[in-house]
Amino acid sequence: MEPRQWRFVHEYCVDLNGTQAAIRAGYSENSAQEQASRLLSKAIIQEAIKERQEDIATAAGITAEKVLRLRWQIATADPNDLMELRRINCRHCNGFDHHYQWTENEYLESVNRAVEMGKPAPDGLGGFGYDLNGPINPDCPECGGLGEEFMHIHDTRHLKGSARRLYAGVQRTKDGLKILTRDQDAALAAIEKYLGMNIERKEISGPGGSPLAITTTKAEDLTDDQLAAIVGMNDNP
């Protein structure tokens, strides 16, 4: 291969971007995409890329077994190790006469806001001391004894094993925090592909999906030319 082709191989293995690899290898930006497509179609380039990737993997200590193990951890991780949908007691479950129950701090903050805005202070008929982990009251008229939904997110600093592999970060949105996870279905599909478990089955049928019609012909009904052709096919290695 010529020097630019070698350069292309090395650059392609950096980010697997053919167009950018061609540009970095010295090809014109105007024809980089076309050059990349042409180079990647060459068997000698494909083999060079494969060898280069194997060299990189060996140097980094990456093996198929390690990659497979990591994908398996992602595919089988329990999302509940990252976050849980819990049912907790609602604000009326344990308030006096099922009035809204406050914590002391939030009640004081609410009173201060009301004073600043010139509005009446909220009532505290339900009392104080609301506890997130308090019992759900089966006789609560507000929630019907079902409590309310609460999303609990585990401290990501303490994640281990498969949960750590599944976790892909956190994103702040207008609706709150969003936990990002790696695609478990994609990880499982990659494992199936590697193990040859997702081979597609194809069925051959007749017109309109009907069964194939199989006919047999006796040797005595064949012409000399047909017999000669069959004999010739069997003689070929």
Predicted confidence (pLDDT) per residue in 165-175, tens digit: 999 998 999 98
Is it the case that residue 73 has pLDDT exceeding 90?
yes
Model confidence pTM above 0.75: no
At 224, is the pLDDT very low, low, confident or very high (cuts 50, 70, 90)?
Answer: low
Please answer whether residues 83 and 110 qualify as being in contact, where contact means their C-beta atoms are separated by less than 8 angstroms: no
Tell me the per-residue pLDDT of 149-164, one tens digit each, with 9 for 90 and over.
999 999 999 999 999 9
- The answer to which of 13-17, 73-77, 121-125, 233-237 has the lowest mean pLDDT is 233-237
CA 169 to chain centre: 13
Question: Which is more confident, 194 or 134?
Answer: 134
Mean predicted confidence (pLDDT) in 24-49: 93
Mean pLDDT of the chain: 86
Distance of alpha carbon 16 from alpha carbon 68, whole angstroms: 21
Please give the structure tokens belonging to residue 157: 């600093």
Angle between helices 184-194 and 64-76 (to 10 degrees): 140
Which of the listed CATH numbers 1.10.10.1400, 3.40.50.300, 3.50.50.60, 3.30.1050.10 matches domain 3-62?
1.10.10.1400
**Domain definitions of the chain by residue range:** 3-62, 64-79+166-199, 83-153
- Integer angstrom CA distances of residue 128 from 91, 110, 123, 131, 141: 10, 13, 11, 9, 19
Is it the case that residue 67 has pLDDT exceeding 80?
yes
Distance of alpha carbon 12 from alpha carbon 231, whole angstroms: 52
Classify 86 as helix, strand or coil.
strand
